[in-house]
Structure 1
Amino acid sequence: MAAKRVAGAHADKVLPAIREAQAAGAKSFRQIADALTARGIATRRGGTTWEERSVANILKRT
């Protein structure tokens, strides 16, 4: 359960940046992932490169 809490907290933190990318015209998970990577937003595990599946998982949580 702790992992779900951490993932949920990270999703809440990253969601505004995802919405900004969408408002700027990013339509696909790849485009959103590229936007997050370009902004230097860390993944849940502290990585610097976002993947489509990560974006999809966050949007699925919301």
Structure 2
Amino acid sequence: MKCFRLRHGKDGESPKKQGDSRLFLLIFYELIGMLLAKKGRYPESLFSFQKGMHT
């Protein structure tokens, strides 16, 4: 994350912020998916919801 921000810091503000938000959402949903999979709660529905978010 830090390397990504340093590389695209000065030029292209909006693509940098858009990429950061997408990367954050991806990591966020992956973490939730792993936590729910460990507990055994609704992993399939969460992953289908995640696919709907990205397409």
TM-score by length of 2: 0.40
Q: With CA pairs under 8 Å and 6+ residues apart, which has the higher RCO, 1 or 2?
A: 1
For the pair shown, the structure with the greater C-alpha radius of gyration is 2
Q: Whose helix fraction is larger, Structure 1's or Structure 2's?
A: 2
